[in-house]
Every structure is written in structure tokens, then in C-alpha cells.
Amino acid sequence: MKLRRILSSILALSLWAALLTGCGNAQVDAAHTQTLRLALRDGTYSSVIRSCLPAFEEQTGIKCEVVDLSEDDLHNLLLNEGTKSSQYDLCMADASWTSQLYAQGAVADLTALGYNLDNDIIPATTAVSYYGDHLYLVPYYGNVTVLLYNKDIAKESGVDLNSDSSFEDVVKVAEYAQSIGKAGFLYRGDTENNLVVDFLPFLLTYGGWVVDESNYPTVNTPVFVEAMNAYLDLIETGEAMEKSTLIASIENGEGAMAIGWPGWYTPTEYSPANYCSISGKLDEDSISYNANVYGVWMLGICEGSSKKEAALQLLSHLMDKNVQKETVSIGGVPCRYSSLQDEAVLAQYPQYDTICDALQGGTYRPTMEKWPDFYTILGETMRQIINGEISVENGLNQAQKELESIIK
């Protein structure tokens, strides 16, 4: 009888232990089947991140749902405080939006969450990552302006385009292309932002900029006028195109060159197009300004996310130097020395050495909340000038007044 009671007690304890274990597993499974929602910039940028997700999902059991958005749609989403709601957990943002995001409190404080950047990341690319002393956004995709050009047209012109080529060299190639019935310099005229950004490397080459140290507009200065007049002569050799048409034109040899971004194109030894960084020199003997403009895409955790710990796990995975190096083969451009200076990477993609140089000394667009208003006004003025509706001097004086009013 006593033995039967003992066996019953053991059986009851076993059943209770099994029940507890089952509940524990159910809790673990529930935690591991949570889903993170990502708001990403479409195109290569999203594709690179997508390639990193299967390994993360397998390691953690956390699922990832990607929402691809155009640049404008993503910007509007973030501006409309989409990151404050619980709809998204991790977002991608253009570096020029950082002031707006910080002002809205739209992205989480990564320092408070225990995340820090390591010293393998190119320091200059982190200039807009901090708000005060705290980290909020991390540089993920090292977009920086480059000169995209057709190899054959450049060779036929007698100019060896490279990272030391001057503005004078660029003009020679563009004018040669025009002389043989091709389009010389192509530029994007589809939006005010694109009109401005395509011009900025040349403005920097002349030693000018759109604002001074206090973010006060400087668009009607003598150096700005000089750069604008030279730019008008350059674009006269070509025409305005939207991105995909522009890339295709340079690839098929109908166009000579344009301002491009590494995320647009991955040149190889046999590709018809190539790119080089912009030297910032007017001619062979002039000084060199820092003329490569950053378009770095950042990653952040949405302030409204209820899954910040899981989102931090994903952010850490995406920023891992080994994970990032693996993305190079599909067009990834890490802001990391270990990727951009790796011998094996450079043997296959020698242009990454050029990108590394550009990223080490690039120029971020002005970090101001009013930057979208700023480039809209300046871009519209540039459109009027290009179309011959207003003179350079009158147009830039008009833009200066409008910009001063919004800054005040």
C-alpha cells in the first residue's frame, strides 16, 4: 500500500514537471516567433538587408517582415511619425533627415539601449549619428557621390578618368561626347532634391557651399555664381534624365557621364561603365576640396517599437563586420575599413578603395530641420535658371531671400 502511494506521488510529480516544462517551452516559442517589421528604402539598399535576414531568423527564431518604400514614401512615413507608432520596429533613414527625426523623437536612444559603434566604422560617416552625446542612428550603407562614366567614351576622348581627375578633365570628356553626337554630362532634373544634389560636388569643387558655419544661406555669393555658370556650361553638353534611363544611357554608350552613387551600379573589369571619386580640383594644379557628398543610409530602432530588445538584436546582426562583408558581393557598401580595405574584396571590386577614400572625407548635406524646404526652394530656382526663365544672379538673389526667411 505504501509502495503504491510512493509510485502515485512520483507519477504526479512527473506529470507536474512535464506540465511546467511544456508551459516553459510554449513561452519560449511564443517569444521566438515574434515578428519585427522593417521600413526600408527600396532597391539595392533593401535587397542587401534582405540577404542578411535568413541567418538572423534561423539563429534567433525571430521573423522579419520587410516593407519596401521609395525614398519619398519612406521620408513621408518617418515625418508623419510612423516610427512613433508600433507599426515598425527598425527603419532606414537618409542621413539628411536626421535633424527632423531627432526633433520628433522618432528613433530610439541606442546608447540607452546599450549599443555602441566600434572603431572599425569610418569615423567621418558617424557625424550625424549622434544627438548630444547619445547614439541614435548607425551608418549602414556607405552611399557617397561618385563620377559614373562610360569607359569607351572616356578612353576615346584621351582623358584617363580617375580619382585625381579635375573638373577640367570632366568638361573635356563631356565636350568630346557632344562633338561625336553623344550626350555629354547627364543630370537628374526630375526633383528639386536631385537637381541640387547633382550640383553640390561641383559647388564644393569651386570652394563654395550652400550655408556657412551657422547654417545661414550662402547661395548668392560670388563663388556660388561662378560655380553655377560653370555647371550650366557642363549640363549644356547633355540632358536631364531620371535615374534608370541615365544609368542605361551611360551603359550603352549614348551618354558619357553623370553624378552617381555606388548603390546604383557595381562595375567590373568587363562592364561598360565605371566610377571614380570626385577629386575636388578645378584643374591639375589647383587645390583639392572635399567634394564627395554623403548620401549614407542609416539604420535606427523606432521609438514606438514594443520590441526594442529584439530590434537591437537585429541591428547588431546587420552591423556585424562579418555579416556586412558578405553583402559586398550583392552590392553592399559597408562603412567599414574591414570590408572596404579587405584584399579579397579589392581583388574583385577594386572600386571599393575609391569608395573608402571618398567616405573618409565626405561632406554631409546641412543638418537642419528645414533642409527639405531649403533644397525645394533652391532646386526650383535652379530649374528656372536652367530653363532660361531667370538669370543666374537674379535667381540666386531671389533664392537667398526666400531661404533667409525660412531659416529665420
Residue 139 near residue 110, CB atoms below 8 Å: no
pLDDT digits (tens, 9 = 90+) for 246-268: 999 999 999 999 999 987 888 88
Structure confidence at residue 9 as a pLDDT band (50, 70, 90): very low
C-alpha cell at 180: 561625336
Supply the CATH classification number for the domain 146-293+370-407.
3.40.190.10
Are 381 and 202 a contacting pair, CB within 8 Å? no
- Greater confidence, 183 or 369? 183
pLDDT tens readout for residues 372-397: 899 999 999 999 999 999 999 999 99
d(CA 87, CA 74): 13
Where do you find CATH 3.40.190.10 in the chain?
34-142+295-360, 146-293+370-407
Instruction: Reply yes or no on whether the pLDDT at 24 is more than 60.
Output: no
Closest CA to 271 of 148, 169, 163: 148
- Give the largest Cα separation in the chain, rounded: 109
At the second CATH level, the architecture of 34-142+295-360 is 3-Layer(aba) Sandwich (3.40)
Q: At what angle do helices 167-179 and 222-235 cross, to 10 degrees?
A: 30
Q: What is the DSSP-derived secondary structure letter of residue 207?
A: T
Give phi and psi for 61, each to the nearest 5: 80, 0
Helices (H) and strands (E) in the chain, counts: 16, 11
| Average confidence (pLDDT) over 105-117 | 96
Share of the chain above pLDDT 90, in %: 78
Question: Rounded CA gap, 206 and 203, in Å?
Answer: 5
What average pLDDT does the chain have? 90
Nearest alpha carbon to residue 146 among 207, 82, 197, 214: 197
Confidence at 345, pLDDT banded by 50, 70, 90: very high
